Amino acid sequence: MNNISKILAILSLPLLLNACGGGGGGSAGGAASYTVPSCTDSGSAFQTNEYYTIGSNSGGRSNQLELVCASSAYARGATGDGISIAVVDTGGPWNASGSLINNEFNSDSDEIIKPDNSDYFNSDSVPEDTYDHGVGVACLIRCDKGDGDMHGIAYDSTLRFYKIFNGSGTITSDSNVAAALNAADANDIINNSWGTASNGCSSASNCESLIGSSTYAAMKTATNTNGKILVWAAGNSGYANPGAEAHAVVHDTNLQGLSVAVVAVDSTNANSTDGDSDARISSFSNRCGDAAAYCIAAPGGDMTTVSYVNGQTFVVGGGTSYAAPLVSGGLALIKQEFSSLTNKQVVNRLLTTALDDDEYSQSSIYGHGLMNLNAATTAVAKLQTINGNNLLDDPNTSYNDLVNNNFSSSAAFSNALSSALNGQTMEVYDSFDRANFDVAIDSFFTSGSYTSQNTIENHMARLQPKTMEKVKNKTLYGSFTVETDGNFIGSSMFQSAGDFLALGFNQSTNSFENAVDPLSNFFNDSNFGNNYLVNPYFNTGSGQDYFMSFNSNSSFGLDTFTNANGNDLGLAFNLNPLSSSNEGMKYAGDLQLVFGANYEQNKFLNSTSTGVFATGDLSNTNFTGLKYKKNLGDDFTFVGSGFAGYTYIDKAVDSYIDSSTPLLTSSFTLGLAKANFLKEDQRIGFFVNQPQRVEDGSLNLRVPTSSDRDRTVTYSNLNVDLEPDARQINFDIIFNKIITESSNLSANLTHVRNGDHSNESKNQNFFSLFYKKTF
Amino acid sequence: MSQKIKTFSLYFIKRLFKRILFFSFLILFPNKFVLANENNPQDYFCDVSKSRLLEKDVISLSLKDKKFNQVISEIDKKPSNKKYNLLVSTGEKPSSGYSLEFLKIKKKKKFDKIYFQETKPKKNSKNLSIITYPYCLINLKNLDEYKIKIKKKRLKFFPVSIFQ
């Protein structure tokens, strides 16, 4: 009895061990605490019936592409175009005489290739698929898109077929397989939906023994010598580790980085009741096991693909055979999308971006997780600009986060710049692996605008009477005097009778505007768009500017400015050959001639820029101007001003602004005012103004536009003509009536044509009425 | 005496030769020998499907089942000029290299037994990583009188299976 018990115990041992072995699969399916996450499949324009395999022949809906978010990659332009994939398998869609017999592969004969001598079983050049497997595998990669039914994951890639199995599913000799793999090295990616039915392999020598020495050597040649990507189906025995070919990467550094093992998850297929349809590991699939670092999951259970039979018969089936081609195709999409990545980096990106939350965090089952082509084709880390160097990995190459690169352009040329950059792209790079991304160049540019401040509120504010709280004859620095108007210097060298020195912070000393009395006390030339009469080359706009003006006997003067940190400097020399402010010169003309220069640090024409669009320390503008006022009798006053300048842009080191021609700019204002209009105490003024505009000049941008697998960057020149396509003209009519001593009525009609010097701008019209009564 | 011995020895040699001949025949033409002595069905067709034909844990489907005609119609590779009334499948197999063959029909007291042989690939052999469903289609008379038996064997280098 005791012996019988022992015998029973021994006999039952294999059963117990079997039970333990089966537990691996159970743990996956039974891990109730894990939820199954999904990626964001965002390319809605590509989510067609074909995407879901819905067709009259292919049957009901399958989510095999949706599970890996392939449409997101399509939306970014990745289709596999230009990438070649070897299908080392049972052959392709030809009959024995070499005629294509499957209409899912007839869209482009250049992309479905049977290389010479590619039938390694029969030693001929017609690798026809007599077992009906290679065609199904190939379809999952590249079934045609656009003919109904279904399409492959990389539907624009190029396939080459190498036949190593015969019609019975028997593989050819070790040496022939090796020869096929060596020939397949002509491709970027080599798909292998076959393998040894083993639970991994224990060492490199054991792997070699199981795989075959010639085949093993060919695998190493493919990866280590030729840098090609090998994709292996993990196998369908439910083992804890992939089969030997997929597992060898664990033991051999020659394979690492370029050999990928693929396990299968169940997709959902309306035409089948197979599998769990839960996107968890397929019950049949080998697990990633200790090859997790080189392993990824993809749909392989319950898949729709095309059959060799009758040309275009569709079948629903499963196996890691079908998961591997999805990964091969996914790699093709990544490789096409990022021309700067080496094959190792393509593989690394695929593995790194896999969905690895919750269920897929079980690395012994899923390795890196479920393939996620949305994440794989977007930035993994920060996108950065390159500093102008040609080598992505050179130690002297530096990168800038995107937010640190910008250009805020002056309205004097922003319209021209926007037009020139519209649709233009440049490359930026993912700090993760320097994968190249195209971005719109104009995304770095902010257009300055004269019309942005043209609001009805600001228009109304123009008519608010100035607060005149003049403090006259305030003595400063001995005999010099200054007049103030609130926080503004009310006096000007143009207007002052004597010598003066004005010092101020955040103040405007350019008071030619004040000289146009009686207009100035009923019209505030501020807030609304550009200022009409001020020197535009001193209008730095920082709000933190120091000014100094000096005037001597109304015959000449100096204006200077610097900003708070002293980086911008300006100097203008003013000649006043005529002045009506002198006694007895009431009807004489007022004339001011201005000559000057300014120097702007890291900007020009008040256009600021940083990073790769930075300008140098000293962009220089030399300018000249003329201001003229003449009282035409007692009632009429004519005013006019005009400025022109040449700007020389200083090139910064590493800036994409490579060169430029001098920028010629202009601006002008003409005005006529009449007192005693219709009735006494009525005044009217008419102004025509053109804000500062570039009349001639261009920039040459040198931007990175492509990069290659050898990690070099190619730059392209982009010449930008900065002259806008139109000319903004502002027309203003201002009316003022003093009703009583304590009440005042003003009106202003403004018409703005070609706002911001753009002929695409809508004309603007404003009308404001302002009544003020003091109680 | 010596004549008797000679006669006996010739007798045994003859008998031994007959036996050698018999076993050699068995070895070289096993199927033909068996089928020649059993109730051979009119038609059968065996192949491997890449799609599931029968539900899990079901090994056969006969003409009497409602689904039979639908399932049969989805099998593309079968000879179009033949008619079958029984489908037998091994169920899900992990790779290529598996097959199902019709062997013989043995008469029993209550039921005749239909024997199939499932062939497995060699251990550690290289195969296609696709789920397969080996199956046979047969046309039999008197479907109720049969029981199905599937034997398994693994491919060896020696071409004769243990089963035979």
- Rounded CA-CA distance A88/A192 in Å is 6
A458 lies in the same domain as A371: no
Residue A197 to residue B121, Cβ atoms within 8 A: yes
Report yes or no: A774 and A743 within 8 Å, Cβ to Cβ: yes
Count CB pairs under 8 A between chains A and B.
Answer: 98
Do the domain assignments include residue A398? no
A→B interface, C-beta within 8 Å: 89-90, 131-133, 136, 165, 169-171, 177, 193-198, 210, 233-238, 243-244, 272-274, 284, 307, 309-310, 313, 315-322, 324
Complex ipTM tops 0.90: no
Residue B51 to residue A90, Cβ atoms within 8 A: no
Q: Which residues of B touch A244 (CB under 8 A)?
A: 124
CA dihedral for A506, A509, A513, A515, sign (positive or negative)? positive
A266 lies in the same domain as A127: yes
Q: Which residues of B touch A89 (CB under 8 A)?
A: 128
| Average pLDDT rounded to a whole number, residues B84-96 | 92
| Residues paired with residue B26 on neighbouring β-strands, in sequence order | none
The alpha carbon of residue A386 is apart from the nearest alpha carbon of chain B, in Å, by 45
Residue-level pLDDT at A583: 54
- Rounded CA-CA distance A409/A360 in Å is 48
Q: Which residues of B touch A320 (CB under 8 A)?
A: 129
Q: Is B109 exposed, middle or buried (0-12, 13-18, 19+ CB in 10 A)?
A: exposed
The alpha carbon of residue B148 is apart from the nearest alpha carbon of chain A, in Å, by 24
The alpha carbon of residue B64 is apart from the nearest alpha carbon of chain A, in Å, by 22
Residue A324 to residue B129, Cβ atoms within 8 A: yes
Q: Which residues of B touch A276 (CB under 8 A)?
A: none
User: What residues in chain A have per-residue pLDDT under 70?
Assistant: 1-32, 273-275, 309-312, 465-527, 539-558, 564-565, 578-589
Q: Which residues of A touch B123 (CB under 8 A)?
A: 197
Listed by number, the residues of chain B in 27-86 with a beta carbon closer than 8 Å to a beta carbon of chain A are 48, 50-52, 55, 76-77
A195 lies in the same domain as A69: yes
Residue-level pLDDT at A59: 83
> Which residue has 């900007």 as its token pair?
A603
The model's confidence at residue B42, banded by pLDDT at 50, 70 and 90, is low
> Which residue has 């090859």 as its token pair?
A291
Strand A603-604 versus strand A636-648 pairing type: unpaired
* pTM, to two decimals: 0.82
Residue A236 to residue B94, Cβ atoms within 8 A: yes
A70 lies in the same domain as A210: yes
What residue of B is the nearest CA neighbor of A325? B129
> Which residue has 């190593």 as its token pair?
A164
- Domain ends where: A376, A393, A408? A376
DSSP alpha helix (H) spans, B29-76? 30-36, 68-73
Q: Is A166 exposed, middle or buried (0-12, 13-18, 19+ CB in 10 A)?
A: middle
Within an 8 Å CB–CB cutoff, is residue B127 touching chain A?
yes
Cis peptide bond prior to A518, omega within 30° of 0: yes
The model's confidence at residue B96, banded by pLDDT at 50, 70 and 90, is very high
- Measured in whole angstroms, the distance separating CA B60 from the mean position of its chain's CA atoms is 15
Q: Is A262 exposed, middle or buried (0-12, 13-18, 19+ CB in 10 A)?
A: buried
Residue-level pLDDT at A685: 87
Grouping H, G, I as helix, E, B as strand and the rest as coil, residue A493 is coil
- Exposure pattern of A392-413 as b/e (b: 16+ CB <10 Å)? beeeebebbebeebbbbbbbbb
CA neighbor of A516 nearest in space, from A495, A536, A496, A501: A495
A361 lies in the same domain as A506: no
Residue-level pLDDT at A47: 98
Question: Token pair for residue A653?
Answer: 């080191």
- Rounded CA-CA distance A581/A583 in Å is 6
Q: Is B148 exposed, middle or buried (0-12, 13-18, 19+ CB in 10 A)?
A: middle
- Rounded CA-CA distance B80/A192 in Å is 34
Do the domain assignments include residue A37? no
- Rounded CA-CA distance A161/A92 in Å is 6
Rounded to the nearest 5 percent, the helix, strand and coil shares of chain B are 25, 30, 40
Residue B128 to residue A90, Cβ atoms within 8 A: yes
- Domain ends where: A356, A376, A396? A376
In one-letter notation, the amino acid at residue A297 is A
CA dihedral for A672, A678, A681, A682, sign (positive or negative)? negative
Residue A235 to residue B92, Cβ atoms within 8 A: no
Report yes or no: A706 and A689 within 8 Å, Cβ to Cβ: no
- For chain A, the domain total comes to 2
Measure Cα distances from A152 to A108, A173, A648, B49 in Å: 14, 31, 55, 22
What residue of B is the nearest CA neighbor of A212? B126
DSSP alpha helix (H) spans, A77-231? 134-142, 174-184, 204-211, 213-220
Q: Hey, which bits of A234-369 come out as E strands? A: 259-266, 295-301, 303-307, 313-317
Residue B126 to residue A171, Cβ atoms within 8 A: yes
A232 lies in the same domain as A353: yes
CA neighbor of A247 nearest in space, from A285, A290, A298: A290
Do the domain assignments include residue A408? no
Do the domain assignments include residue A335? yes
A768 lies in the same domain as A681: yes
Report yes or no: A306 and A136 within 8 Å, Cβ to Cβ: yes
Report yes or no: B148 and B61 within 8 Å, Cβ to Cβ: no
DSSP alpha helix (H) spans, A308-356? 320-337, 343-352
Residue B129 to residue A210, Cβ atoms within 8 A: no
CA neighbor of A195 nearest in space, from A291, A273, A109: A291
Residue A236 to residue B130, Cβ atoms within 8 A: yes
Residue-level pLDDT at B161: 34
Residue-level pLDDT at A615: 94
With both helix axes pointing from N to C terminus, report the angle between A320-337 and A134-142 in degrees, rounded to the nearest 10: 30
State the DSSP H helix or E strand holding residue A717, giving kind and residue range, or none if neither: strand A713-721
Best probe of the B interface among A177, A219, A241, A274, by most B CBs < 10 A, is A274
Residue B127 to residue A169, Cβ atoms within 8 A: yes
- Rounded CA-CA distance A194/A320 in Å is 9
Report yes or no: A270 and A343 within 8 Å, Cβ to Cβ: no
Is the predicted pLDDT of residue B148 greater than 70, yes or no?
yes
| Residues paired with residue A152 on neighbouring β-strands, in sequence order | none
Do the domain assignments include residue A397? no
- Rounded CA-CA distance A316/A322 in Å is 11
What residue of B is the nearest CA neighbor of A173? B126
Residue A131 to residue B96, Cβ atoms within 8 A: yes
The Cα angle at residue B44 between residues B40 and B47, in degrees rounded to 5: 140
Cα dihedral value B119, B125, B129, B130, nearest 10: -10
A667-688 pLDDT, tens digit per residue, is 999 988 888 888 888 888 898 9
Best probe of the B interface among A237, A284, A316, by most B CBs < 10 A, is A284
Q: Is A542 exposed, middle or buried (0-12, 13-18, 19+ CB in 10 A)?
A: middle
SS (H, E, C) A559-600: EEEEECCCCCEEEEEEEEEECCCCCCCCCCEEEEEEEEEEEE
Q: Which residues of B touch A131 (CB under 8 A)?
A: 96, 128
Rounded to the nearest 5 percent, the helix, strand and coil shares of chain A are 25, 35, 40
Grouping H, G, I as helix, E, B as strand and the rest as coil, residue A348 is helix
Residues 6+ apart with CB under 8 A from A568: A540, A542, A545, A561, A562, A598, A599, A600, A601, A603
The alpha carbon of residue B85 is apart from the nearest alpha carbon of chain A, in Å, by 23
Write the CATH number for A151.
Answer: 3.40.50.200
DSSP alpha helix (H) spans, B37-114? 68-73
Domain that holds residue A703: 451-773
Q: Hey, which bits of A370-453 come out as E strands? A: 383-386, 399-401, 406-409, 425-430, 436-440, 445-447
Is the predicted pLDDT of residue B8 greater than 70, yes or no?
no
CA neighbor of A559 nearest in space, from A514, A583, A594: A594
A712-743 pLDDT, tens digit per residue, is 999 999 999 999 999 999 999 988 888 887 78
- Rounded CA-CA distance B95/B92 in Å is 9
Q: Which residues of A touch B130 (CB under 8 A)?
A: 133, 136, 193, 236, 317-319, 321-322
For A385, phi then psi, to 5°, come to -90, 155
Residue A169 to residue B128, Cβ atoms within 8 A: yes
Strand A383-386 versus strand A399-401 pairing type: antiparallel
Strand A406-409 versus strand A445-447 pairing type: parallel
A468 lies in the same domain as A364: no
Do the domain assignments include residue A27? no
The alpha carbon of residue B118 is apart from the nearest alpha carbon of chain A, in Å, by 15
The model's confidence at residue B10, banded by pLDDT at 50, 70 and 90, is low
- Domain ends where: A376, A406, A441? A376
Do the domain assignments include residue A176? yes
The Cα angle at residue A454 between residues A453 and A458, in degrees rounded to 5: 80
Write the residue in A198, A316, A317 that is nearest to B130 by C-beta. A317
A76 lies in the same domain as A211: yes
A473 lies in the same domain as A334: no
Grouping H, G, I as helix, E, B as strand and the rest as coil, residue B46 is strand
- Rounded CA-CA distance A317/B49 in Å is 9
Order of strands across the sheet that contains A556-563: A500-505, A545-552, A556-563, A569-578, A589-600, A619-632, A636-648, A663-674, A682-696, A729-740, A743-753, A764-773
Do the domain assignments include residue A26? no
